C-alpha cells in the first residue's frame, strides 16, 4: 500500500466525497435511496475490515453488532420517544457493550473458534428478536415512530458524510501506530507478545471500535428506513454480504470496503430485471474477483500487488 500515501489517499477520497455530495442535483430520489443504503453498508464493511484485515480476527457476526445497535435505538424510540440523537448514542453504546461481552470470552479461543462464537451470537440475537416479539416486533419487524428526515437529499447527505467521517477515522487509525501493532497481533500473536505488546488489549480495542461504528450505523439506518427487521439487519446473509463487500473492495484497505458495498448494491440493482438469477450472478462475480484479484477492487484500481 506504499504506492499512495495516507494524505494523498485521504485527499483523493475527500474529492470523491465532495463530488458525490452534488449527486442529489442530478439523479433521482430512487437512486439516492439506493446509495444511502450503500453508504451505511460501506460503514459496516469498513468496521469489519478493521477487525479482520488488521486484527486478523474473522468476525462472522457483523450483524450481531449492527442488530444490537439498531434494535436498541429502535426500541428506545418506540418506548419513550427521546430525542433521536439519544437513541443513536444508546444504540452505539449497546453495540459496544454487546461487543465487549462477546469479545472477552471469544478472544480467548484461538483460530476458527472466534469466528464460530461470533456466528452463534448472531443466531442468538436473531432468536431473541423473534421470541421477544412484544418488544422487538418479532418476525414482522419493528416500526419506529420517528425518522431523521423524510427528504431523500437530507438522508443521502447524512449517510454520505457519516460514511466519510467514519472512513476518515477508521482509515487514519489503520495507518497509525495502533494499526501497525494490530497487524502484528493479527499476523503473529506470539511475536507481538514477545515484543511487549498486549495482544488481547489491542484486539479488544479493535473490536470496540468496530462495534461502535457498526452499532451507530445500524441505529442511523433504522431512523432512515423507519423500520428494523431481522431480514435487513441481523440475518446471516446480511452479514455475509458485508463480508463480501469488504473482501471485494480490498482487504486491509478500509476505504476499499465502501467501494465493495456500492458495487454490490449497484450490481444487484442493475441485474434486478433478471429476478432470482441476479443474486446468483452478483455472488458469482464476487467469487471471481476474490479468486482472481485477492487485493480486491481497490487493489485493481491502485495497481497494488501484494504477496499475501
Contacting residues toward other proteins, per CB under 8 A: 1-2, 172-173, 176-178, 180-181, 183-184, 187-188, 190-199, 201-202, 205, 252, 306-308
CB of 6 to other proteins, least distance (A): 11
Q: What phi and psi values does residue 74 have, to the nearest 5 degrees?
A: -65, -45
Q: Which is nearer to other proteins, 37 or 170 (CB)?
A: 170
In the bound complex, what is the minimum distance in angstroms from residue 294's beta carbon to other proteins? 12
DSSP secondary structure code for residue 53 in this structure: I
Closer by beta carbon to other proteins, 37 or else 199: 199
- Collect all residues with Cβ–Cβ distance below 8 Å to 98 and sequence separation of at least 6: 64, 65, 68, 211, 215
Nearer to other proteins, 81 or 198 (CB): 198
Taking residue 178's Cβ as centre, other Cβ atoms within 10 Å add up to: 16
Rank residues 88 and 202 by Cβ distance to other proteins and give the closer one.
202
The minimum distance between CB 54 and other proteins, in angstroms, equals 10
CA distance 17 to 23: 10
Q: Rounded to the nearest whole angstrom, what is the least distance from the CB of residue 288 to other proteins in the complex?
A: 24
Residue 61 CA to residue 266 CA, distance in Å, equals 24
**CA–CA separation, 228 and 14 (whole Å):** 31
Q: Which three cell numbers stand for residue 253?
A: 484497505
Closest CA to 208 of 90, 68, 51: 51
Whether the CB-CB separation of 202 and 187 falls below 8 Å is answered with: no
Side-chain-facing half-sphere of 174: CA atoms under 13 Å = 30
Residue 140 beta carbon to other proteins: minimum distance, rounded to whole angstroms: 42
C-alpha cell at 130: 423473534
Closest CB 11 distance from other proteins, rounded Å: 19
Q: Which is nearer to other proteins, 283 or 293 (CB)?
A: 293
10 Å CB burial of residue 292 (0-12, 13-18, 19+) is exposed
Q: Which is closer to other proteins, CB of 146 or CB of 188?
A: 188
Nearest-approach distance from CB 1 to other proteins, in angstroms: 8
Around Cβ 53, how many Cβ atoms within 10 Å? 23
What's the CA gap between 177 and 243, in Å, rounded? 25
Number of other residues whose CB lies within 10 A of the CB of residue 191: 12
Phi, psi of 28 (to 5 degrees): -75, 160
> For residues 7 and 307, which CB has a smaller minimum distance to other proteins in the complex?
307
Smallest distance, other proteins to C-beta of residue 213, A: 16
Shorter beta-carbon distance to other proteins: residue 2 or 26: 2
Amino acid at each position: 500500500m506504499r504506492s499512495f500515501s495516507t494524505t494523498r489517499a485521504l485527499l483523493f477520497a475527500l474529492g470523491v466525497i465532495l463530488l458525490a455530495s452534488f449527486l442529489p442535483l442530478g439523479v433521482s430520489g430512487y437512486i439516492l435511496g439506493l446509495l444511502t443504503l450503500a453508504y451505511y453498508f460501506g460503514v459496516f464493511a469498513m468496521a469489519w475490515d478493521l477487525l479482520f484485515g488488521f486484527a486478523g480476527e474473522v468476525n462472522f457476526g457483523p450483524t450481531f453488532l449492527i442488530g444490537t445497535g439498531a434494535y436498541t435505538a429502535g426500541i428506545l424510540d418506540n418506548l419513550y420517544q427521546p430525542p433521536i440523537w439519544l437513541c443513536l448514542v444508546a444504540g452505539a453504546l449497546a453495540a459496544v457493550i454487546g461487543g465487549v461481552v462477546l469479545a472477552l470470552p471469544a478472544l480467548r479461543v484461538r483460530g476458527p473458534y472466534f469466528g464460530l462464537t461470533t456466528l452463534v451470537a448472531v443466531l442468538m440475537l436473531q432468536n431473541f428478536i423473534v421470541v421477544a416479539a412484544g418488544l422487538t416486533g418479532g418476525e414482522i419487524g419493528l416500526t419506529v415512530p420517528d425518522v431523521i428526515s423524510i427528504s431523500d437529499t437530507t438522508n443521502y447527505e447524512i449517510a454520505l458524510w457519516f460514511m466519510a467521517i467514519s472512513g476518515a477515522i477508521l482509515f487514519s487509525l489503520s495507518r497509525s501506530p495502533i494499526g501497525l501493532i494490530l497487524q502484528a497481533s493479527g499476523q503473529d500473536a506470539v511475536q507481538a507478545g514477545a515484543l511487549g505488546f498486549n495482544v488481547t488489549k489491542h484486539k479488544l480495542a479493535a473490536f470496540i471500535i468496530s462495534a461502535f461504528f457498526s452499532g451507530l450505523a445500524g441505529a442511523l439506518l433504522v431512523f432512515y428506513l423507519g423500520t428494523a427487521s431481522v431480514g435487513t439487519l441481523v440475518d446471516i446473509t446480511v452479514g455475509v454480504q458485508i463480508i463480501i463487500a469488504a473482501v471485494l473492495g480490498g482487504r486491509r484497505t478500509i476505504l476499499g470496503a465502501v467501494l465493495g458495498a456500492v458495487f454490490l448494491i449497484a450490481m444487484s440493482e442493475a441485474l434486478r430485471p433478471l429476478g432470482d438469477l441476479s443474486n446468483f450472478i452478483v455472488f458469482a462475480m464476487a467469487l471471481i474477483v476474490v479468486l482472481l484479484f485477492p487485493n480486491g477492487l481497490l487493489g485493481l484500481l491502485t495497481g497494488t500487488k501484494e504477496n499475501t
